[in-house]
Amino acid sequence: MNKSLLALTALSLSLAATTTAQADDHGSMTLEQMANAALTQDTIAWDFVEGITTEVGPRQAGTEAEKRGRDWAVAWLKEQGFRNVADEPFEMETWVPGDLHKAEILSPFPQPLVVQPLGGTASTGPDGITAEVVYFRNVAELMAAPDGSLAGKIAFISHSMTPTQDGSQYGFAGPARWVGSGIAASKGAVATVIKSVGTDYHRNPHTGGAGFPEGVAPTPAGALSLPDAANLERMFARADGQPITMKLTLTPQQLGTTLSGNVVGEIVGRDPSLPPVLIACHIDSWWNGTGAFDDGAGCGIVSAAALHVSHTGQPLRTIRVLMAGAEETGLWGSKAYSAAHIDEPIAVGLESDFGADRIWRFESNFRESNPELHAKLAAAVARFGVANSTNVASGGADINIARDQGTAIIDLQQDGTRYFDLHHTPDDTLDKIDPVQLRQNVAVWTQVVGILANEPGPIKPAE
């Protein structure tokens, strides 16, 4: 890069951080130059995630902490020059974790275990529950247990999740959390503990939402840290038939109906008749971490990309940023946004919600219906180390509206090798974000969003 272009890059990025996002029709840099500059110089994404994790911290859905997070994000978007910034409220049923989280083996090998409650589960009461533990190596073994066989007992469900780049092991191991406690309760269990759905070996349990079938009352359920779950498995191996007895104390609460909200802001396009580009993330986090990887980074990435595109000139289409509320406890914000805006067509939806490590693969759901645009986008991000793919994009959790409308979807797949070391744990903190990889995300998003926002024709033509 020559000296004059370096100076131009520095000037443009400086302006991006201090002026409004509504640039004149003729920006000082091309989209390609801006994306290249973001790769090494972007500070906007870091500014967002550093700010919200420092000044707000954990943002449990439906609580005052999440409200402070939304207020912070609204102020930040306005400071950056986004237009039409709003906090769109919706009601939700709110669960909070309570203060007592204890698991203790009473016999035959007395010792404490580290546990966290799972979202949506019931309380043991402050006195806890003491019962025999029954071990299942996986959900399939639990499903095969006879009805009523767990009456009065605590189910322990394990799995063997391993790290993968594409995060596919989450689909393999996730049912232990998603449906395990509901199945155990339907067979009579008074409580459930699971091996955390994660890949680290720290004594940091991975929380997350659990579900119960219709007609099955929620029971207490918690996730053991992976080392503690492994220890419990060893206990079963050497108990020689003796029953293993656990005392479990978890005191979450259901607060009833409270308010959450979706934060939105726009880079306004030149042609309001064209459907906008929707770029999404979620603003809430679990209570036990500061929500840096999940999903403060995602909100910083998509916002930075929108700003960078605006500084190459006012785009043809509006770029709308959606920071969805209450994703973790049931996609409340995604559902509410779709219900409120279902009659307002969007051109394409894409979301960043898989941490902050590098993007390695590009996917769309219009590879067959709009092959020229798919190929153009794939070629444009190849220089950032992103591969094309024949996989059909299905979209992130917070773009229900794109699926509901049957419109275009893009997935910019991030490297998930270490994501489930941090997912839903106390280790989800700012220091885990690699600034170099964060900037690569911003560069890729800038390139993709810029092309989409200036595409005059239908992005996913009718098939």
Residue spans per domain, the chain:
3-95+256-453, 98-251
Mean pLDDT of 201-217: 96
CATH class of 3-95+256-453: alpha beta
| Residues in the chain, total | 463
Residue 462 pLDDT: 76
Higher per-residue confidence, 144 vs 18: 144
Average pLDDT, the chain: 94
Query: Do 311 and 271 meet the contact criterion of CB atoms below 8 Å apart?
Result: no
Residue 22 pLDDT: 39
Mean pLDDT of 191-211: 97
Residue 23 pLDDT: 40
Q: Is 383 helix (H, G, I), strand (E, B) or coil?
A: helix
% of the chain beyond a pLDDT of 90? 93
CB neighbours of residue 249 within 10 Å: 21
Sort residue 238 into left (φ over 0), alpha (ψ -120 to 50) or beta. alpha
Q: What is the DSSP letter of 246?
A: E
Residue 55 pLDDT: 98
Rounded to 10 degrees, the C-alpha dihedral 3/5/8/14 comes to -80
Q: 20: pLDDT confidence band, cut at 50, 70 and 90? A: very low
Q: Where do the DSSP E strands lie in 139-251? A: 154-157, 191-195, 221-224, 245-250
CB neighbours of residue 140 within 10 Å: 9
Rounded to 10 degrees, the C-alpha dihedral 398/399/400/404 comes to 180
93 pairs with which residues across the strands? Answer: 257
Question: What is the rounded end-to-end Cα distance, in angstroms, of the chain?
Answer: 43
Q: What is the DSSP letter of 73?
A: H
Distance CA 95, CA 207 (A): 13
What sign does the CA torsion over 387, 392, 397, 403 have? positive
Q: 357: pLDDT confidence band, cut at 50, 70 and 90? A: very high
Give which of 314, 326, 305, 295 is closest to 410, Cα–Cα: 305
Mean pLDDT of 282-291: 98
Residue whose tokens read 């998603």: 178
Query: Do 412 and 348 meet the contact criterion of CB atoms below 8 Å apart?
Result: no
CA distances, 226 to each of 202, 206, 337, 420 (Å): 7, 9, 36, 12
Distance of CA 354 to the CA centre of its chain: 6
pLDDT above 70 for 393: yes
Distance CA 300, CA 305 (A): 9
Distance CA 455, CA 67 (A): 36
Residue 26 pLDDT: 40
101 pairs with which residues across the strands? Answer: 250
- Two tokens, residue 358: 């590098």
Residue 461 pLDDT: 87
Residue 27 pLDDT: 56
Q: Is 413 helix (H, G, I), strand (E, B) or coil?
A: strand
pLDDT above 50 for 124: yes
User: Tell me: domain 98-251, CATH 3.50.30.30, correct?
Assistant: yes
CA angle 383, 388, 393 (to 5 degrees): 130
Distance CA 410, CA 383 (A): 18
Helix, strand and coil in the chain, % to nearest 5 = 35, 20, 40
Query: For the segment 405-455, what is each residue's pLDDT rounded down to a tens digit?
Result: 999 999 999 999 999 999 999 999 999 999 999 999 999 999 999 999 999
pLDDT above 80 for 173: yes
Distance CA 247, CA 107 (A): 10
pLDDT above 50 for 315: yes
pTM of the model: 0.93
Helices (H), 364-434: 371-381, 400-405, 419-422
Query: Do 131 and 191 meet the contact criterion of CB atoms below 8 Å apart?
Result: yes
pLDDT above 70 for 43: yes
Query: For the segment 69-92, what is each residue's pLDDT rounded down to a tens digit?
Result: 999 999 999 999 999 999 999 999
% of the chain beyond a pLDDT of 70? 94
